[in-house]
A = this chain, B = another copy of it.
Amino acid sequence: MAGSTYGKHFQITTWGESHGKGIGVVVDGCPAGLALCESDIQKFLDRRKPGKSRYSTQRKEGDKVEILSGVFEGRTTGTPISLVIFNEDQRSRDYGDIASYYRPGHADYTFDAKYGFRDYRGGGRSSGRETIGRVAGGAIAVKILNELGISLLTYARSIGTITIPQNANDLLAACRQNNTYCLQEIETRVLQDPLYMPDRDSSQQAQEYLETCMEQMDSAGGIVEGIVTGVPAGIGEPVFDKLDANLAKAIFSIGAVKGFEIGDGFAAAAAKGTENNDNFCMNNEQVTTATNHAGGIFGGISSGAPIILRAAFKPTPSIAATQQTVNTSGKEISISIHGRHDPIIVPRAVVVVECMTALTILDLLLEHTGARMDILKKLY
């Protein structure tokens, strides 16, 4: 039960099902005095909207956000911000037949096992539409981080078997300006790409790959990569609330994620200590690291270097090809899932990864405010 609230300080509570009246989120713990309007949030929601390319479902989802509380005269008041996105396009007839069987790769069976029955309309609470609440809340977190000098860049690293040739550190090297990074140019490129990839050639190949998938009534997965610059050293708690541990949970709580890495990730497991250690050095009188295999985190605490993470998404389970499964009466049957489904969710998941990353970093940044007596004595 419960489990729909994320965060300790900047706390989001999401609600809503795919084909219910709407989807929403209550953001509690937002610092007072932040300038905030609906368009700040809408532009993030638009990034996860379907129908932007032919590789995502052609449903028209308006997904217009409405602020119901917590903002007064254009600024946050410190009290809960309630955001709602009413569902518009609820063609429930598309989904009605799934009530009687368990779709492979979906949560139909596990919801039934857990609760005794389920809202079968479009996946109910386990639908991808659940992420709308995360994105709406995350958009506010991103805005706060930006005001504190922290920037996020998130993009599709792989689509199926197609992977961009650059790694995150290559991309960062290209936008380095002394001790800071200017991510704007690359961000613009990503936002203009139909698959949210930062490399045009890879995107072209990925589009061809997806064409083939669609012809074969099949689907594809992929990898989302995220970079965060400007996080001050010292964020993250030792032991259980490590920055990387909380990021792992945040990203893994997104449906369809099957793997997560920080820095070199699984590759580090095959490296030697001499190869993997990041030597410390000085740069403009700042302690920094010569390399960034660690992805900006040591002992669960940020080092000031860019944070680098990756999430593996499985292929969309809804496919038109014929599949074997069982129905709710325990009979084995053959099915073929029709309707409007994305052959891949990775491009739409990019903004979700960005938002969960922002929510996590902001939450630990707020956690850190009381860590030292010298700082407390200045505050009080």
Contacts and interface: CB of A to CB of B under 8 A. Distances in A.
Interface in A8-48: 8-11, 13-17, 20-24, 26, 28-34
Interface of A is mostly: mixed
Q: Report the interface size class on chain A.
A: 35 or more
A9 B294 CA distance: 28
Give 4 nearest A-B pairs by CB, closest first.
Answer: A107-B299, A3-B237, A3-B241, A219-B273
B221 A114 contact: no
Contacts of A330: 282, 285, 287
A287 B326 contact: yes
B80 A14 contact: yes
Given A79-B125, A248-B248, A315-B271, A373 B144 contact: yes
Given A114-B368, A116-B372, A245-B253, A126 B299 contact: yes
A117 B369 contact: no
Chain multiplicity (copies): 4
Given A29-B1, A68-B15, A77-B119, A233 B110 contact: yes
Contact of A114 (B15, B234, B247, B282): B234
Contacts of A293: 314
Given A21-B69, A69-B17, A233-B113, A1 B273 contact: no
Interface stretch (A57-65, A199-207, A261-269): A261-269
Interface stretch (A98-106, A170-178, A182-190): A98-106
B370 A369 contact: yes
Given A13-B80, A28-B1, A314 B271 contact: yes
B241 A2 contact: yes
Interface in A124-179: 124-126, 130, 144, 147-149, 158, 160-161
Contact of A117 (B3, B13, B75, B126): B75
Contacts of A117: 32-33, 72, 75, 77
A249 to B, nearest CB: 4
Contact of A13 (B20, B28, B325, B375): B28
Interface string A79-100: 1111010000000000000000
Contacts of A2: 8-11, 28-29, 237, 241, 367
Given A234-B110, A280-B109, A259 B258 contact: no
Interface in A293-350: 293-295, 297-304, 312-319, 321, 323-326, 330-332
Interface string A225-261: 0000000111111111110111111111101011111
A78 interface: yes
A198 interface: no
B314 A116 contact: no
21 contacts: A1-B237, A2-B28, A3-B29, A4-B80, A5-B28, A13-B13, A14-B239, A15-B80, A24-B82, A33-B374, A78-B115, A109-B303, A110-B298, A218-B274, A221-B268, A245-B252, A271-B314, A274-B323, A276-B314, A277-B323, A282-B330
